[in-house]
Copies of this chain bind each other. A is one copy, B any other.
Amino acid sequence: IHSETGKKDADDILEKCKRFMSEPVTDVQVLQKNKEEMRTKMEMMILQTQAEFCKALAEVDGGTFQVDRWDRKEGGGGISCVLQDSNIFEKAGVNVSVVFGHLPEEAAQQMRSRGKSLKSKDGKLPFCAMGVSSVIHPKNPHIPTIHFNYRYFEIEEADGSKLWWFGGGTDLTPTYLNKEDAVHFHKTLKEACDKHDRKLYPKFKKWCDNYFFIKHRGERRGVGGIFFDDLDSPTKEDVFDFVRSCAKAVVPCYIPIVKKHLNDSFTSEEKQWQQLRRGRYVEFNLVYDRGTKFGLATPESRIESILMSLPLTARWEYMHEPPKGTKEAEMLQVLRNPKDWAQ
């Protein structure tokens, strides 16, 4: 009976792989053999998230994603899916990476937001890191930009003990404030969180507002969402279930908003304001984002997959300040004073 279940699970993996954007990064037979391990469960989950989101976006857009598989010298690789200058989307990137090898101590330290020190052998730590990340920049300024990222880390210390943790989040960056959209987005995230623990959403909503902060402007990047890092309790299975719920929520969070505004008309002034907000997006990602900075500083990283998050076009105007009472000023107001949307 046990081997029967084993075979069924293995078939299940094979069946799921058929629906992915590309073959898994890890060899399918290895995944089948280690189907009980978190590495396998997480790789399957991020590939499924990538496939479901790409499919939903392609259906709305009518275009076809470019799919690039890439290898990393030291170990692992990734699958980058990009839709550029298409019908609805200016740039839509959905990236999966599964990498492993040995991390220098400083780099490992940088990966954690907590300052807990890691004990290595000869300054090197065996590690495995995997995640799905995505940024979608639509053409229409009434369709907001979405970003999400869900990731899993394992690090082995000198004494053989294994550390693991999850991180991630989903956040929305509108060009113009649409309260209904912000409420829908946050409520969908809250629902996904509440199934696991009602303390999670408020905590991670606040963390998100603090993280996506463009300090030199005194503005948040967008209307937030959820953000968390270093999550390792109560159990690995519990955290995974929570992360899976969050990843599952991406499509219902975003696609209804895209569909709703698909045919909204817009002026060249609205397009220009979108371009200025894109400039701020670039400022956040290049100056503050830990993931981007970590990626750019990592030797042999795939720069094109890291900078996929940047918009196709952006704009910087000297001394731009929208006049009081305008829709642009209303948006800035919320970026300067984040609100509770899920109440």
Min CB gap A58→B, angstroms: 16
Residues of B with C-beta under 8 A to A287? 286-287, 296
Select one of B217, B279, B308, B315 contacting A318, CB under 8 A: B308
Select one of B275, B301, B304, B316 contacting A307, CB under 8 A: B316
Select one of B215, B303, B312 contacting A216, CB under 8 A: B303
Number of interface residues of A (CB under 8 A): 31
Q: A286-B286, A296-B287, A303-B217 are in contact. Are A312 and B313 (CB under 8 A)?
A: no
The distance in angstroms between the C-alpha atoms of A282 and B66, with both chains bound, is 26
Min CB gap A292→B, angstroms: 9
| Count of identical protomers in the assembly | 2
The distance in angstroms between the C-alpha atoms of A93 and B317, with both chains bound, is 11
- Chain A binding site: helix, strand, loop or mixed by DSSP? mixed
The distance in angstroms between the C-alpha atoms of A187 and B286, with both chains bound, is 35
Min CB gap A340→B, angstroms: 28
- A237 CB–B CB distance under 8 Å: no
- A188 CB–B CB distance under 8 Å: no
The distance in angstroms between the C-alpha atoms of A286 and B217, with both chains bound, is 14
Residues of B with C-beta under 8 A to A316? 91, 307, 310-312, 314
What are the 8 tightest A-B residue pairs by CB atom distance, in nearest-first order? A286-B286, A310-B316, A216-B296, A82-B318, A216-B303, A313-B315, A304-B319, A314-B314
Residues of A within 8 A of B (CB): 66, 68, 82, 84, 91, 93, 215-217, 275, 279, 282-283, 286-287, 296, 301, 303-304, 307-308, 310-319
